[in-house]
Structure 1
Amino acid sequence: MTRLFGTDGVRGRANDDLTPELALRLNTAAARVLGAGSGDRPTVVIGRDPRASGEMLQAASAAGLAAAGAEVVDLGVLPTPAVAHLTAATGAAFGVMISASHNPMPDNGIKFFAAGGRKLPDEIEDAIERAMDEPAPLPQGSGIGRIRSGENAVETYIDHLVAACPNSLDGLRIVIDPANGAATHAAPEALRRAGAEVMAINAAPDGLNINQDCGSTHIDGLREAVVAHRADAGIALDGDADRCLAVDAEGRIVDGDAIMAILALALRESGELAGETLVTTVMSNLGLHQAMAAAGIHLETTKVGDRYVLERLAEGGFSLGGEQSGHIVMSDHATTGDGTLTALMLLARVAATGRDLAELASVFTAAPQVLINVRVPDKTVIEAEVVRSTVAEWQRKLGSEGRVLLRPSGTEPLVRVMVEAAEEPVARSVAAELAAVVENALVP
């Protein structure tokens, strides 16, 4: 049977595979599993991004929680990291976020945060799925939960962000693109209170325009705005604001790898880089590996997915990790990726050093990277001897100036072939050869 939970909660097309009925059942089950041990009346906080379907899915989710006897605090529209923060700050039994992150508006999702604002391990997600198929008596009368509106949720979150910023952003002119999403108010306001002059674009959510040709997945508009306004930098968030990409004053993109390099050096300088270690996924560019090695910083890699980065940060007691996509975790201040927090820390480094973003990012030089998706009937093809031997041979030839990575997609019948090399034509040639080997490996 197909697992309901994916790499980041339950996600699908709203009113198709993700229905209010499913949301109700899922949250009733979650209240039974995550509320266990919290007494007869666990408190649950719930937020959403501004996409239109979030209204009905939040209502259905809240109804499911109350039906199981939970006290539900409706936070309204709020970024995913804000829900995680408030789960911890309020001592809630768990938190619920209704969002499909960077996905298009027709999609939506439901994700949970355990007590303390941390993502759920696989075994707890599996327990929730089992509980959905194991009906249990529901409370009645005074045992039924209540739903109330949260107070000052956005202000509490903004206060948390500004308090985490290590120095003033005075003198910086910033353009921010919150993707018509959940941080449309919170992110620009946090930057202003930290001292920056802020201009916001794509900051008029109407329920339909979230992530539409804007934000971290469509960054060209921000690049143009930064140059037009002669800003020092631009910040691009995604719909639920757990990711951050940046743009320098010339309109050049500063991706998650470059941001991690800048922050790793800043934290090491201040003595806050625990274990002298940065945690990232196997998809981070070879240039990041080389930059960290040159700086004497240890780099650990995990499987693709922020949950694996989070797990390794917790296991090792490390303070910084993330993904090339801009999902960056600073575990001294947050339990999950927080795009606005990342922006504040990045801009604080610019302000503190007096160096512009382009100069700070120059510590990292991306190696040419080519990615080819190969459709396959069986993803175990990557274990075929001809595939393994070809990968090993090319890794030997490329040596320390290149990298080869084959990995199966977690959601599609694809094998992703990634090659990095000192020169782009070499990367393209090797990637094309490996893609052909993968395609033909299962041919009788």
Structure 2
Amino acid sequence: MKYFGTDGFRGEANVDLNVVHAYKVGRFLGWYYGQEHKAKIVIGKDTRRSSYMFEDALSSGLTASGADVYLLHVTPTPSVSYVVRTEQFDCGIMISASHNPYYDNGLKVINGKGHKLEAEIEEKIEAYIDSKEDTIPFATKDAIGCTVDYAVGRHRYIGYLMSLATRSFKNVKVGLDCANGSSYSVAKGVFDALGATTFAIGMNPDGTNINRDCGSTHIENLQKYVRENNLDVGFAYDGDADRCLAVDDKGEVIDGDAILYLCGCYLKEKGELNENTIVTTIMSNLGLYKALDRQNIKYEKTAVGDKYVNANMTEHGYSLGGEQSGHIIFSKYAVTGDGVLTSLMLMEVMLEKKAKLSELRKDLKAYPQVLKNVRVADKPAARNDADVIAATKKVEEALGDNGRILLRESGTEPVIRVMVEADTEELCNRYVDEVIKVLEEKGHVVEK
């Protein structure tokens, strides 16, 4: 596709993604969903300065096509998904570029079931954006749409999150890093209401500081904060709060793999791990798989991307899946990754097991992992070169059951990613470099 990627229409604000694009997306969606009835569409946004501009442009396009627009204002991406599916909206739009820097932004369209918009509709939107003539009629008279302040939708989402807690968080010291992003409007209020002693950072968005040296992409800040304040646990979110990484009581990182392990073991004990299976991506650590084997828990591996995890879970009815980056899906409660929900589920594990996260994760040993990106002239040619395949096979045989090698093409760059997991970082680097050397010798590598 030309505009829409794996996570919506994303790019630098007013460079790759501008207000005309947003207006036209609104024009198309308002018309598309309003052919048989007056369309109802809900919009949420993160704290980027450009989010306000895109909110106005979308609203103009939607109302011009006859749709009524409900504004959630600053809110997490999963809240838009929740409101769409529980309150019968035709679709939702989240204005966010997730973990990207503030000058980027994006439009993520969510269908009536709370999932990402179907690719065939995205293709129609792209065709309309590029069409030289505006073929969509303007609404007139009382058919023109209006905008509605819908902060109540966000409050219902907050109430839903609070209803999921199984017990009080009283006497638990919790640190939150809200990344100066969407979660600042939700997370602390939820933890406070549930009785936690809450310490929060990343709570002062100014339009340009989202994700800047904070949140899940800079977890070292929360690690330091947890240690200095002697907290029981910490949770870090990304800009639109669909990811969560945690920090245990010793200040060590609990990444997405560790979250899957802790929650998977807990759900299995409760008899709630459907088909005794967790859905992971191919980038999950070998240590996770070995730990799951010891617990007799099965697993599936998908391509990288939460949409692939979600598709696998939906197809087979699995209850838990996610990515190392912290996109975790609990299908009993949500259809997308939800950072604040994930932190509540980890709190449940801690409180029900009456144990610190550092104790609960002690059987999970992550293998050292080295990933190097190699710029190539032709990704398929490099990936399928017989000598490259042979070098990869040689590393696989040398590692045996004590490591693995993975070569994959980047979906967004002219890059081959070479990843090795092994007993030591030294081994990882050695084997990665061996394969890269073959790529260089065969003439696949290009200078930046």
Please list every run of at least 4 consecutive aligned residues from structure 1 whose deviation after the TM superposition is greater than 3 angstroms: 131-134
Residue 27 of structure 2: aligned partner: 28
Q: Report the more deviating stretch, 322-331 or 188-197.
A: 188-197
Residue 64 of structure 1: aligned partner: 61
Residue 263 of structure 2: aligned partner: 263
1:164 corresponds to which letter in structure 2?
Answer: L
- Is 1:117 aligned to 2:114, yes or no? yes
**In structure 2, how many angstroms separate the alpha carbons of the residues matched to 1:20 and 1:168?**
45
Count residues in correspondence.
441
**In structure 2, how many angstroms separate the alpha carbons of the residues matched to 1:120 and 1:292?**
33
Residue 229 of structure 2: aligned partner: 229
SS of corresponding position for 1:332: coil
Aligned partner of 1:78 among 56, 75, 89: 75
Deviation, structure 1 residue 56: 0.3
Alignment of 1:149-228 (within 5 A): 149-228=149-228
Contact 1:259-1:361 at 8 Å conserved across structures:
no
Unaligned runs of 5+ in 1: none
**In structure 2, how many angstroms separate the alpha carbons of the residues matched to 1:202 and 1:281?**
29
From the superposition, tell whether residues 23 and 226 of structure 1 become closer, same or farther in structure 2 (CA, over 3 Å).
same
From the superposition, tell whether residues 443 and 232 of structure 1 become closer, same or farther in structure 2 (CA, over 3 Å).
closer
Residue 17 of structure 2: aligned partner: 18
- Spell out, residue by residue over 1:143-199, the C-alpha distance to the aligned partner (whole angstroms, 9 max, x if none): 221111104233211111111223332221001000011110311111222232111
1:184 corresponds to which letter in structure 2?
Answer: Y
**In structure 2, how many angstroms separate the alpha carbons of the residues matched to 1:408 and 1:36?**
40
2:14 corresponds to which letter in structure 1?
Answer: N
Aligned partner of 1:51 among 44, 48, 52: 48
Deviation, structure 1 residue 116: 1.9
Deviation, structure 1 residue 36: 5.8
- Spell out, residue by residue over 1:114-156, the C-alpha distance to the aligned partner (whole angstroms, 9 max, x if none): 0021112323322322343452222222222111110423321
Unaligned runs of 5+ in 2: none
Alignment of 1:232-381 (within 5 A): 232-380=232-380, 381=382
The two structures have a TM-score, normalised by structure 2, of: 0.95
From the superposition, tell whether residues 73 and 374 of structure 1 become closer, same or farther in structure 2 (CA, over 3 Å).
same
Contact 2:78-2:242 at 8 Å conserved across structures:
yes
Contact 1:255-1:325 at 8 Å conserved across structures:
yes
The two structures have a TM-score, normalised by structure 1, of: 0.96
Contact 2:378-2:444 at 8 Å conserved across structures:
no
Contact 2:278-2:321 at 8 Å conserved across structures:
yes
Residue 126 of structure 1: aligned partner: 123
- Spell out, residue by residue over 1:90-116, the C-alpha distance to the aligned partner (whole angstroms, 9 max, x if none): 110000000010111111000011002
**In structure 1, how many angstroms separate the alpha carbons of the residues matched to 2:361 and 2:34?**
47
Residue 396 of structure 1: aligned partner: 397
SS of corresponding position for 2:251: coil
SS of corresponding position for 1:340: helix
Question: Identity rate of aligned residues, in percent?
Answer: 43
2:340 corresponds to which letter in structure 1?
Answer: T
**In structure 2, how many angstroms separate the alpha carbons of the residues matched to 1:120 and 1:18?**
18
2:2 corresponds to which letter in structure 1?
Answer: R
Residue 385 of structure 1: aligned partner: 386
2:4 corresponds to which letter in structure 1?
Answer: F
SS of corresponding position for 2:7: coil
Deviation, structure 1 residue 24: 0.6
2:246 corresponds to which letter in structure 1?
Answer: A
**In structure 2, how many angstroms separate the alpha carbons of the residues matched to 1:375 and 1:165?**
47
Residue 95 of structure 2: aligned partner: 98
SS of corresponding position for 1:118: coil
SS of corresponding position for 2:4: coil
- Spell out, residue by residue over 1:341-360, the C-alpha distance to the aligned partner (whole angstroms, 9 max, x if none): 00011011111111101111
SS of corresponding position for 2:17: coil
